[in-house]
Structure 1
Amino acid sequence: MTNTRTVSRAARIRDVAGLLARLVLAGVFLVSGGIKAWDARETIVAVRAYQLLPDSLVGTVAAILPWFELALGVLLLVGLATRLAAILAGVVMVTFIAAVASAAARGLSIDCGCFGGGGEVAAGQTAYTEEILRDLAFLALAVYLAVRPDTPFSVDRLVQRRATDPR
């Protein structure tokens, strides 16, 4: 009896952790993408400030990124294709971490533009360490969901249960 209770408690903890991971990541991408989509000019400034892309690609990346983030946010919010969305979210986080680390290593003084804004800032006004640590936490959530995508209140779980229901 104790073993069954322990297993169900562990399953509940995994369910809560998965649901929270999914909703936090969804919120991050919905807010970030929404702000970037709302102010397309600032998004262009932010992408350009990293000095990683040729000018011919800056506008394209700045135009696609907000909508990609919003799409990931919606998929995660409803729990549809959760593993794929989590893997893509992880790739985005690794890309963001690498871009911020690159800016720091090259001595650029820029705002990350992660949640709007972006572009050059005064020397000493950067927050690269905090931004990288924050994105590492988001990456950890994405990895958790990629490994364990089955979460409560998700379309994935609903479809899975309907597929396995013998009725």
Structure 2
Amino acid sequence: MRGRSWLDIVGTIVRLGLAAVWLVSGGIKAADPDQTYVAVRAYNVMPDSGVAVVAAVLPYLELALGLLLLLGLGTRLVAAFSGLLLLVFIAGVAQAWARGLSIDCGCFGGGGDVAPDKTSYGTELLRDSGFLVLAAWLMIRPRTLLALDDVLTRGER
């Protein structure tokens, strides 16, 4: 580990943590596509045909982001895509809250209509903002340990 700094260690923890988020979230959604459809539809922002596309694609997009981060392949670019997706999620939750919808975000399974006292928009926004900070870290400093990026660019340093 010669020549590595504590920032590389922090970055590795950040990369693996964000990878775990996407792998768990995507895996849960992929395992229950009907519930994913219900969760996406609950936001009430697109026609059913759009809901079907988003519900079908989202789990596999999340799994792909997670796998690429786990491997450390294209870390900066994957972090940027992660950040964009997280901003979409934050906007979705914020608009649901502002419109007075009573839904569970469906971020880690479940989702759809819930009783008004069962919403947790503030917590969801804080959590996703924290994940956004992780993505930002990797956009600014993508160098991490045990990453294919390092192996593929070794000759360029």
Q: Percent identity of the aligned residues?
A: 55
Measure, in 1, the Cα distance between the counterparts of 2:60 and 2:156: 34
Helix, strand or coil for the counterpart of 1:71? Answer: helix
Name the residue aligned to 1:30.
23
Q: Is the counterpart of residue 14 in structure 1 residue 7 in structure 2?
A: yes
Alpha-carbon distance, 1:133 to partner: 0.2
Question: Which of 146, 153, 157 is the aligned partner of 1:160?
Answer: 153
Name the residue aligned to 1:59.
52
Alpha-carbon distance, 1:108 to partner: 0.3
Name the residue aligned to 1:104.
97
**Structure-to-structure mapping, 1:62-81, within 5 angstroms:** 62-81=55-74
Paired residues in the alignment total: 155
Measure, in 2, the Cα distance between the counterparts of 1:37 and 1:56: 18
Question: Which of 115, 120, 145 is the aligned partner of 2:113?
Answer: 120
Alpha-carbon distance, 1:158 to partner: 1.1
Alpha-carbon distance, 1:142 to partner: 0.2
Measure, in 1, the Cα distance between the counterparts of 2:75 and 2:42: 32
Question: TM-score, with normalisation over the residues of structure 2?
Answer: 0.96
Alpha-carbon distance, 1:16 to partner: 1.2
Alpha-carbon distance, 1:164 to partner: 3.6
Measure, in 1, the Cα distance between the counterparts of 2:156 and 2:128: 37
Question: TM-score, with normalisation over the residues of structure 1?
Answer: 0.90
Helix, strand or coil for the counterpart of 2:116? Answer: coil
Alpha-carbon distance, 1:35 to partner: 0.3
Tell me the amino acid that sits aligned with residue 50 of structure 1. Y
Q: Is the counterpart of residue 43 in structure 1 residue 29 in structure 2?
A: no
Helix, strand or coil for the counterpart of 1:124? Answer: helix
Measure, in 1, the Cα distance between the counterparts of 2:150 and 2:140: 15
Q: What is the CA deviation profile of residues 71-95 of structure 1, one whole-angstrom value per residue up to 9, with x for unaligned ones?
A: 0000000000001100000001100
Over aligned residue pairs, what C-alpha RMSD do you find? 1.1
Where does the alignment leave 5 or more consecutive residues of structure 2 unmatched? none
Measure, in 2, the Cα distance between the counterparts of 1:42 and 1:97: 20
